[in-house]
Amino acid sequence: MAKYLVYTLDASGRISLPEEVLAEDDEQALALIRAMGVNYRRCEIWNDHRMVAALDAAASAQSSDEAA
């Protein structure tokens, strides 16, 4: 299992403390984070010093709607 850190930027423009997610790979980490339903304006997922993905709220909401 790999450790991923999730940093979110809220509507006030504040960066949250990182939330830890354990996953087998990048795809599983992204799926787990999307399933968490975190409310954010922007979200970055990091694995060590590597940024795995940057998500914004509009794109995340659209991909969730398409999956339904």
Give the pLDDT confidence score for residue 68 in this predicted structure: 46
Q: How many CB atoms lie within 10 A of CB 59?
A: 12
Which domain, by its residues, includes 15? 2-67
Give the pLDDT confidence score for residue 4 in this predicted structure: 97
The DSSP-derived string for 1-68 is -EEEEEEEE-TTSPBPPPEEEEESSHHHHHHHHHHHT---SEEEEEETTEEEEEEEHHHHHHHHHHH-
Distance from C-alpha of 10 to C-alpha of 27, rounded to nearest angstrom: 24
The total domain count for the chain is 1
Considering the chain, what is the average pLDDT of its residues?
83
pLDDT at position 16 over 60: yes
Which of residues 38 and 51 earns the better pLDDT score?
A: 51
Q: What is the mean pLDDT of residues 15-41?
A: 89
pLDDT in tens, 50-61: 999 998 875 554
